[in-house]
Structure 1
Amino acid sequence: MRWVKVTSKRPIAENRYRVTGLIEGNEYEFHVMQTHIVRAGASIRLFIAFSGRPVPTAVWSKADANLSLRADIQTTDSFSTLTVEECNRNDAGKYVFTVENNSGSKSITFTVKVLDTPGPPGPITFKDVTRGSITLMWDAPVLDGGSRIHHYVVEKREASRRSWQVVSSKCTRQIFKVTDLAEGVPYYYRVSAENEYGVGEPCELTEPIVATEEPAPPKRLDIVDTTKSSVVLAWLKPDHDGGSRVTGYLLEMKQKGSDKWIPAGQTKQLTFTVEGLVENTEYEFRVKARNDAGYSEPREAFSSVIIKEPQIEPTADLSEISRQLITCKAGSAFTIDIPISGRPAPKVTWKLEEMRLKETERVTIKTTKDRTTLTVKDSMRGDSGKYYLTLENTAGVKTFTVTVVVIGRPGPVTGPIEISSVSAESCMLTWKEPEDDGGSDITNYIVEKRESGTTAWQLVNSSVKRTQIKVTRLTKYQEYSFRVSSENRFGVSKPLESKTIVAEHPFDTPAAPSAPRVVDTTMHSISLAWSKPTYDGGADILGYVLEMKEEGTEQWYRPHTTPTLRNAEFTVTGLKTAQKYQFRVAATNVNGMSEFSESSAEIEPVERIEKPELELADDLRKTVTVRAGGSLRLMVSVSGRPAPVITWSKQGIDLVSRGIIDTTDSYTLLIVDKVNRYDAGKYVIEAENQSGKKSATISVKVYGKYYYSYTWLLDYSQCMLLRSKKFSHFQRKFVVLNSMKLFEKSKK
């Protein structure tokens, strides 16, 4: 939104205004800005109240001014004031007050107008300098002092004097021609603006000007460049031309220490190259401007110069090549054009990776002192890579890199194509990504198949995303070959062809497992286990077949009811005591059953005898602590063949009646509820079978206060006394205490 001022330049005194020139049907917004008008020397006081929650921060600001140095600002939680004492024209302008908190910000602008004399006019320029006159020009003051500029006061002063002479006190324009100037005398000039409050500050020329018909001397003679036999000079036009057009410039020079200036050349341009100079010799130079009246005073260079070839390290500007990357489509041309610099002119060398480039029918290299250009026509994928530009001169060596990517169709996939999981209906094809992706991501692969005896290729899948595919719907016993092509957004690669395969099941039967080994025996069972075959025939092992025979017979039979056993272990039950048995096992896969393993040794089912063992947990090996009134739980692992008899004991306590004992073939558990101090001590557990005995001791500690549950036997009359409301508290207490004494006697 752009705000447009609708009032006149001067503020309006009334509190209403009629806006004209509006367009019917359009919506408008209006706002009114108050202008504070203050006389110079008075005080500016701005006050504003504000609110907000939380209390906002308040800031005063003024463009191009530091208010902290000029103004006194006082701010509270509800209002703020700004005061400027003894104001002047520089205090005029827009003061912005801004408040801000977490909810947002708000600003208001105060326009202050200070009534004062105007500021200095803009910079003074001049033209049309002649033998006795000069024309001055200037800009209006930035600060008009709050009042319209009536006129300007133009003054002059001879450079040798201090007093100023008024040339014009009523100049109404911003241009004035000063006449009657003494020829050859340098003058200073100044201009002041005047309004209704008086004459303001003047703007003065910093250097005197001579009114002459010859031009002013050229400005700023610079040494631009040198070689071992030349120098390049440049300068600016003179401030004035003396009243006639500058027609040329005269260059002069002399050796350092000499008083004789000699001509070095003439030109109409603002630059000139002086040649034929002696290397390592120091020279001084000057230039004069020429018009119809003659030559100006000379302008000398700021310093002398020694003629020699500068030593500047070579460099190249790669800013015109975005990210130092050039992309080109295969078959088209690409150009690497790089500005170079260095003194002396550097030697240029181009390389592609490690190969130095030379000009051929496809490759062109052009080099000047400030540019080198490499062009490659009919680009190929092999032209991709890093191009190294090496610049070398006596000041140093620099190398710069530009990457070129030539994009096109990808290369063939990386082979060979591996064919696995061949069956009568399908097979699995696997390959690797192409070594050359054509400079663009591979989007998909195309897989085709061909039956032997035909030349036509049939499409299997044209949108394969991975480097593997399962080919289905093959004809049993038919020979097939396959081919795979890679594709990117620029085209399809050449195909890679596979070897020929026959669609049939390729599996063998597995090798035989290891001979069954005994894991455990009882009076009527034998537990067996065996190892998997070392070769599975190319397919998963589906199960095992176990056979057994009795001693003295040749008849093998299966002890399991299922066709095969899933795991490599089995327990044969229902065996006869004092009878020996042999076992053998075979593995199966989809192609059939393997040969049987070697037979096991003759095994007799007998009950194994093992000494009893007790295994205490780590917390039972230390003293077991339990709070009085809580529960004590002691669990111990038990082993032994046959299962041992378990006995728990503690001195002075019958654990069978005091606690609960639960015993199985693998553990025994003792539980004692509501323990008291008499339950502390050492608990002994014993395990015994026909092979031996084993015992262990567990220490128990009971802590905390001990509570006893006593039963007081009161007669009927005493109970009625306790329940009666006729008796006092002390009478009831007597009955209870008497009963307790009787209880203590009964314990003794």
Structure 2
Amino acid sequence: RESDHRAWTPVTCTVTRQNATIQGLIQGKAYFFRIAAENIIGMGPFTETTKEILIRDPITVPDRPEDLEVKAVTKNSVTLTWNPPKYNGGSDITMYVLESRLIGKDKFHKVTKEKMLDRKFTVEGLKEGDTYEYRVSACNIVGQGKPSFCTKPITCKDEIAPPTLDLDFRDKLIVRVGEAFSLTGRYSGKPAPKVTWLKDDIVVKEDDRIKIKTTPTTLCLGVLKSVREDTGKYCVTVENSTGSRKGYCQVNVVDRPSPPVGPVIFDEVFKDHMVVSWKPPLDDGGSEITNYIIEKKDAHKDVWMPVTSATVKTTCKIPKLLEGREYQIRIYAENLYGISDPLISDEMKAKDRFRVPDAPEQPIIKDITKDSAVVVWNKPYDGGKPITNYIVEKKETMATRWVKVTKDPIFPGTKFKVPDLLEGCQYEFRVSAENEIGVGDPSPPSKPIFARDPIAKPSPPVNPEAVDKTKNSVDLSWQPPRHDGNSKIIGYLIEYQKVGDEEWKQANLTADSCPETNYKVTGLTEGLTYKFRVKAVNAAGESDPAHVPDPVEVKDRLEPPELILDANMAREQHVKAGDTLRLSAVIKGVPFPKVTWKKEDHEVSPKADIEVTGVGSKLEIRNTVHEDGGMYSLTVENPAGSKTVSVKVVVLDKPGPPRNLNISDVRSDSCYITWMEPEDDGGSVITNYVVERRDVASAQWVAISSSSKKRSHMAKYLMEGTQYLFRVAAENQYGRGPYVETLKPIKAIDPLHPPGPPKNLHHVDVDKTEVSLVWNRPDRDGGAEITGYLVEYQEDGADEWTKFQTVPMLDCVVTGL
């Protein structure tokens, strides 16, 4: 029975042994037990346990802790976590014991000094680079249990891993105003990264609505009761020493739009309709405005009547109005998320309130010329409608009919240049304004004006200077005035003054005596210094004077010669034969130098045309030939000195004939031809040689080579025994030069050599005054038939051989011995 119950409960019927196992007890409850013996007669008395027995498992030491893991490693610390043992031994865990072993040592050493019930511990004070194993044991009231399985060897060093970022949100998020939203994700990295939230590049700070929660592995930004200002680009940055990762989300907190911006403008008001306009809402609620809802209300009634709800423009025509009634207009903006509060207009009466523009004031006429004038006026009242055009009219003063000055619209300017006036005529002008209602009354006519150019004195001449001088004169030059005063320049007045005098003297009495922009002042005294000035004159009078900058001393001027070469006077000038050679140069010097042209230090050819002017000289030779080439020189000389320039002229022509034509190595079917290059290559590189041959019996030359660049050629395929003539010509880019020809023909035969010595010479008979000789033919005949044998004899002891005779046969009788 249970200790707190009085009723006994049987647990078994028959037990024949002296022990029994009781099942079905409740752990933690106390029980009493009793036992009775039984035989066939019956049951005996019960024997009862003296005290209650508490049901519980027997107490032992705990099992080994599980899942010992390394959570973090640095160069001087290791952080470990573990789970409790599956069985605590029947008693609560009182503490955990963490042990470590330095790799290379045999024993484990206790790491924890005090009682520790946390299942996470950071071992600190380690030495960088050392390697350890760790294990943990659980303790209860009985004692310390078995240690857990050891960790893998752990080396103390800083762990490095670049940040990773896994976001739960997309690039864009749309939230209704008042709703909450959150941006969550997971991250990792070693060392532990720093998490930063930005909105539109500004750090997000926590407040009553914005909450930021960051754990070692997760991140979250939550916003409660969102408002429109929460719209923006959110960025989360996860960063440690190895790098950073970023995630973005464009959050758009949407709402119905704000009211359209007033005031409501009545662009047009008529008796039966109005045209109103307004500005879009300052805030479209984060969603495009889909339409505007426009309503109207009679000011004396309380009912709003719909006008339209389909317009997307910020202007609307309000129709079906009653003349004289006052109306109010109400405008709503609508987007996908709702309708804004209304914009309500002031009251406006339905009546026509526009008319044509007023007449402008009297126009003013400016900038009058002989054929044009500028009409200027002020803008009149526009009658309530914008002015769209001005109408300018003209008439001659004595006429009665006004004429429009142009068919084109004149707007928005309030001035117009009227063209096509007749010089000398008197005109008046008037202006009318026009709007969409019509054309208003014209202005009063302008004051009459005459169409003619205004005349003023000219501006002074420009840049007067002394360009030349002699012992009694000075040449002056200047440029026309920048402004002629709208009148033709009649001429110029020139004045001079001795340095030191106050009086200016006139060099010419009337302006028309100097119509050009130069003048020679004469009658001056040699050696004195003068100042000069020039005035321009037109019909309005004389201009202010323009002074020559520096005083001029009157004396003859000496300038050494100077040559300015034209392009055809470069160091070397090439001209093609038959073309015209031109050499020219600009010559300066005071007095003008003497000009001399020479070729190779001799007079130039009579065919050369030489022209000398006051500014230069030109040499020209037409139909040039090769002999016109050479070194040309131009010498200019005056008392102040001389100067010479030279130019090499090359006349480009066909080359001359080749030299030293020679034929050698004649055979029956070939011969070898050689020559030397022409003395004159025509001013251009020899490109090739042309070789030709001719049978003496024929008049026609046959080309045997036309592209040879060498100065030799082997003539092949000759007919044996035939006599040939040969000739050679050189070619360059300008053509083929003359031929050089062999002086006499050659015969195509193999070359002849002297025959070899006769063989086996011996005597066959001897007499007192003669000897009979015989011999055999020589081994070689020298390339031709043997025509005879020369027989000679010599007296014994003598030095000279004596010719006897030539015989055709192979024997001979020498007589006269």
Q: TM over 0.5, yes or no?
A: no
TM interval, shorter chain, is 0.3 to 0.5
TM-score with structure 2 length normalisation? 0.34
More relative contact order, 1 or 2 (CA 8 Å, 6+ apart): 1
TM-score with structure 1 length normalisation? 0.37
Larger Rg: 2
